[in-house]
Amino acid sequence: MLPLDWRKRTLDLGRFGRLHVRCIGRIDLICMKVYSSPKRPQDREDLHYLKPTPAEIKTAAENLDRIERECMEEGKLDPQRKQLRRLMEQHDR
């Protein structure tokens, strides 16, 4: 799941005929990969190589807080929070 304001951070890659191509920003990619990491090993690996900064990890945690509030299921995102703790530990090494 992406942060609510993700669209304003997209980058224009160009127009190819009728196709208009944009890509998401780094923080949005990190948030998306954190959210899907429990089910997608490749996303955990991508997060390892992306090496999110403490500020990016904090933003991803805040995004999880928002998603959890919207879903009203406390604890549902514990696997994602565990992934964020691992990322922070990697950063601290």
Flag whether pLDDT at 93 surpasses 80: no
pLDDT digits (tens, 9 = 90+) for 34-87: 999 999 999 999 999 999 999 999 999 999 999 988 887 677 899 999 999 999
Position 81 scores a pLDDT of 93
State the Cα angle at 28 between 27 and 33, rounded to 5°: 100
* Cα 69 to chain centroid, rounded: 17
Q: Model-level pTM greater than 0.75? A: yes
Position 91 scores a pLDDT of 78
Position 30 scores a pLDDT of 96
